[in-house]
Structure formats: C-alpha cells, structure tokens
Structure 1
Amino acid sequence: MARLKDWQDRLPLAVGEALSFVRFTRRWVVLAAVAWLVPVLYVAQIHLPGNVLTFPGQTAMAPAVNRLAPQGWSFFTKSPRESELQPFALRDSVWQDRLLAPHGAPHNAFGVNRRSRSQGIEMALLLSKARSLRWTACDRDLEACLARATRHGHVTNRTPEPTLCGTVALVEQKPVPFAWRHLLPGTHTPDRLTVLDVTC
C-alpha cells in the first residue's frame, strides 16, 4: 500500500505556480510585422501583372523570388475572360435557357445537387460527337442570332441523365470586360453559336 501511495505522490496532479507570460514591447511587434510583411509584398508584386507600383530592387530580385516562391495560380483558376458555353433548347418555337448553373443556387440545393456540374461535360461530349459541326458568328443580340439559326448537326446524347435533348443551341459567350460594364446591359455578349439536333 505504501508503494502505491509513493507512486501517486510522484504524479503531477496539480500546478503549484501560476503560468508566466512573455511580454513583448510595441517595437518588437512592429519589427516582426514589417519583417513578415515586406517579403510578402515583394513576392506578391513580382507575380502581379505590370502596374505603376515598383519596389526598390524588384527587378533584380525577380529571378530569385520566382525560384523560391513560384506562383502557379492558373492550375486552380481559369481566366475570367474565357468564353463560356450556354445551352438553349427550342420548345414550342421559343428558345429557352437550359443552363442549370449557378451551382450554389437554391434550385441546386445550394450546391448539394451536383447535376449542374455535369452539364458542362455533357455539352463538351455533344460538341465532340457532333457530325458536320459548324459555328455561326453572332454579331447581333442573342435573340436575333437564335432566330436566324439553322441546324448544323445531329448527335446522340449518351449521358446517363441528359439535360439537353431535341433542338439545342450551344452559344459561346464572352464576358463583358470590367471597363465596359456600364456600356452593355448584360454580363456576357454572344460570339458564336451552333445548333444541334440531339437525340436522347
């Protein structure tokens, strides 16, 4: 019994002294912040597109920064100026927008329903399998381009749950540049389109 009590006495069950805190002066905090902030600003500035701001020694440091801290954001993002495909289907002589995006919308259960994510793959498959595919340039508004569109190809939609069947127009649209956002009513302008007869 004495042996057990001896063992229990050696356990650190309580802390006898209050914890001590390390105090930093304001000068040390400012110096540490600057020591972290300056390299971060240099790395960011070197990797940003050309602008009016230039740091001292930026040009000389660029090769070393590119080797030590390479930035490959293009792997994770796509260009905001890249064209987008938007599907339309002809129903009762009226072209209807069939795009299921945005993915976080309420009709997609705020992103839980993943069907909208597969629609881009479905459109790519239709374009790759279409015979005699031809694009028609669209230099007017979208309604006028769709009104004069003619069928250019036939394709079978083999996706498990197709969203595009019948007469389908795939419109390639370019985003309106930010500088022109007040000059045009929408966010995208049609560039070209193709009309397919899709069998599901």
Structure 2
Amino acid sequence: MAVTGVLWAVAALYVAQANLPKNVIELPGQDKAATAVGPVAPQGWAFFTKSPRDVELVPYVYRDGEWRSALRAPHARPSNAFGLDRASRSQGIEMALLLERAGELTDWADCAGALTAVDCLDTAAASDRVRNPSPEPSLCGTAAIVQMRPVPWAWRDLLPGTHTPEKAATWKVSC
C-alpha cells in the first residue's frame, strides 16, 4: 500500500515538473518524462484554472420591492449539501439559455458610476418578456443578470466590494 502511494507521488512530481517553467529542481530523466507527459497531459495547468480577471454573470430577482441575489453558488456551502447537490451548477446554463432566448432584444444597461449591482439594477429598465426553458428554474418573475468585474487587488481598499457592475439586463421571465 505504501509503495503504491510513493509511486503515485513520484509520478505526480514528474508530471508537475514537466509542466512547470524551468527552475532549480532537476529530476533524473526529466527530459524523457517531459516528452512522455506532453501527449498524455497536453493542457498543462491552465486547463484547470480560470483567469481571476474574467467577468462574472450574477443572477438577481426582484422580490418584495427589492433586488436580491439569486446566486446558488458557492457550490460547497451547506445549502448545496457541501457540493453534493448539483443544482448550483445548472444556474450558469440557465443564464446562458435566458441570454440566448432574449437575444438582440436584450437592453443592456450601462452600470457606469454604480458601486453595487443593486445600484445599477435600480436604474435599469426591463427588456421584453422571455420564457425560461430550464426544467428547474431559479429565475422567474422580474429577473436580471449583472455582468460583474473583479476589483483589481491594488484597488481593494478603495471600493466596498470585491466586484463592480459593468452592465445589467432585466426581463419579465415566465417559467
């Protein structure tokens, strides 16, 4: 059992070293291992990561006279059974379906000057009606999608949140 663990650890070390830039660590037979690893794992580490600067789409619903986040993530929180409940994973697909259905009729409101998504949504006008085709929808009634950009690390103390709104789209969604 211990031998198997050591073999897996050595294999993982060679795969990691083959994908890392040139550094001070030199493993025996590293060059041969790198040519063998390339065809097996061509994607490298970038395959497993997402740029922290990418924009995010965040869903909102209008309930009881105020905008509320409808985001089901993070996936590992207790309400998602610590990642076992996969419903939170389907929300991105649901938002993509709404955006595709609404198409060019979507009137994106510019959020320039708004510090929060709610500030932006309070001034955004609702676009046309759209039907939500999701089998278990989370966005019904007056709903919105806000495109949020992460606040750069250097500005973290200047703004109240971790993301700032760029634009927002609202609809009357039938489910």
Question: TM-score band, normalised by the shorter chain?
Answer: 0.7 to 0.9
Deviation, 1:190, is: 0.6
Cα pair distance change 1:72/1:167, threshold 3 Å: same
Cα pair distance change 1:85/1:45, threshold 3 Å: same
- Deviation track 1:37-67 (CA, whole Å, cap 9, x = no partner) reads 9x94x96235xxxxxxx98xxxxxxxx9xx8
Residue 94 of structure 1 pairs with residue 70 of structure 2: no
Deviation, 1:135, is: 1.1
Unaligned runs of 5+ in 1: 1-35, 47-53, 56-63
The corresponding residue for 1:174 is: 149
Query: Which structure has the larger Rg?
Result: 1
Residue 194 of structure 1 pairs with residue 169 of structure 2: yes
Deviation, 1:71, is: 5.2
Unaligned runs of 5+ in 2: 1-12, 25-30
Give the Cα–Cα distance (whole angstroms) in 2 for the partners of residues 144 and 86 of structure 1: 14
Tell me how large the CA RMSD over aligned residues is: 2.6
Higher relative contact order (CA 8 A, sep 6+): 2
Q: Which of 15, 18, 21 in structure 2 is aligned with 1:45?
A: 21
Give the paired residue count: 147
Give the Cα–Cα distance (whole angstroms) in 1 for the partners of residues 69 and 108 of structure 2: 19
Give the Cα–Cα distance (whole angstroms) in 1 for the partners of residues 131 and 95 of structure 2: 12
Q: Specify the code of the residue in structure 2 equivalent to 1:95.
A: W
> TM-score by structure 2 length?
0.74
Deviation, 1:184, is: 1.9
Task: After the TM superposition, list the runs of 4 or more consecutive aligned residues in structure 1 that deviate by more than 4 angstroms.
Answer: none
Is the 2:115–2:159 contact (alpha carbons within 8 Å) kept by the matching residues of 1?
no
> TM-score by structure 1 length?
0.65
Q: Specify the code of the residue in structure 1 equivalent to 2:168.
A: L
Give the Cα–Cα distance (whole angstroms) in 2 for the partners of residues 77 and 153 of structure 1: 36
Cα pair distance change 1:112/1:197, threshold 3 Å: same
The corresponding residue for 2:134 is: 159
The corresponding residue for 2:115 is: 141
Deviation, 1:107, is: 0.9
The corresponding residue for 2:27 is: none
1:25-174, aligned counterparts within 5 Å?
40=17, 44-46=20-22, 68=35, 72-131=44-103, 132-139=105-112, 140-142=114-116, 143-174=118-149
Percent same amino acid at aligned positions?
49
Q: Specify the code of the residue in structure 2 equivalent to 1:87.
A: P
Cα pair distance change 1:114/1:71, threshold 3 Å: closer
